[in-house]
Amino acid sequence: MANSVLELRSVLARMVTGLGEWALLLAETISSFFRYGVRWADTIRQMYHVGVQSQTVTLITGGFTGMVFAAQTFFQFHKVRMDTAVGAVVSLAMCRELGPVLTALMVSGRVGASFAAELGTMRVTEQVDALRAMAKHPTDYLVLPRVAAMMTTLPLLTVEAIAVGILSGYLVAVHLLGVDGTYFLINMRKYTGLSDVLQGLIKAACFALCISTICCYKGLNCRSGAEGVGRATTEAVVVSSVTVLISNFFITMLLSHIPFFQP
């Protein structure tokens, strides 16, 4: 019993310590942005890595999510003769929840792991210490370009996933399941507004900040050796994905109290 209590206290202590160190890294990143600005050469290179190279996974995620959600909505709504409401449900779900959350999860697995592995390798090979020896802060040269690139490209990828999801949902509902295309579009336009799209973009920006800083933190604080880099990469993906799901709830509840975002 005593050993279990001590082990639990040790786990909680590590969690609190890690949260504090992550908060310090976040504060340093924001401070670096306002003091020195963004290194555009590194940022554009990271934007290509995060945005352009994530096109395939974004298109597949958005397309098939819209298709399966339209099909499942139709199967349930058809029982009560509400087929024409499929368009409104698909568009709202893609804009508010499915688009930003699923895109963030996929980018976290593809790009977040890359961030943690790159910085972890640099930490193990003492390249991070070499930057400090040259009086160059790792946050300015390694973290800030990745955070800026993620926060710039993830909202754009989210918009792409939303658009592809709604289009694929329209094709499935209208051409495969027989829903009237005119009513699909009318209801979608009637019940989907600018506030729904902005809510998805706000969530995407928050997710981007969480994913990029968590993965950079895990990479910069990994243990020595190949095992340490692998463990840091795994922890980065798991923690950032869980953070996306948890923060999504709190952001939704927070925005629900703002009149502009209320349904």
Per-residue pLDDT for 6 more than 70? no
Of the candidates 193, 187, 172, the residue with the CA atom closest to the CA atom of residue 63: 172
Q: Let me know how long the chain is.
A: 263
Ramachandran angles phi, psi of 129, nearest 5°: -65, -35
Query: Measured in whole angstroms, how far is the alpha carbon of residue 221 from the centre of its chain?
Result: 22
pLDDT tens per residue, range 29-50: 888 888 878 888 889 999 999 9
pLDDT tens per residue, range 146-197: 999 999 999 999 999 999 999 999 999 999 998 888 888 998 988 888 999 9
pLDDT tens per residue, range 223-261: 777 788 888 899 999 999 999 999 999 999 999 888 887
What's the rounded mean pLDDT across residues 54-64? Answer: 93
Query: Measured in whole angstroms, how far is the alpha carbon of residue 79 from the centre of its chain?
Result: 35
Going by C-beta distance under 8 Å and a sequence separation of 6 or more, which residues neighbour residue 176? 71
Per-residue pLDDT for 2 more than 60? no
Residue-range domain boundaries for the chain? 38-257
| % the chain with pLDDT above 90 | 49
Query: How big is the chain by its Cα radius of gyration, in Å?
Result: 21
Q: How confident is the model at residue 19 (pLDDT cuts 50, 70, 90)?
A: confident
The burial of 30, by beta-carbon neighbours within 10 Å (0-12 exposed, 13-18 middle, 19 or more buried), is given as: middle
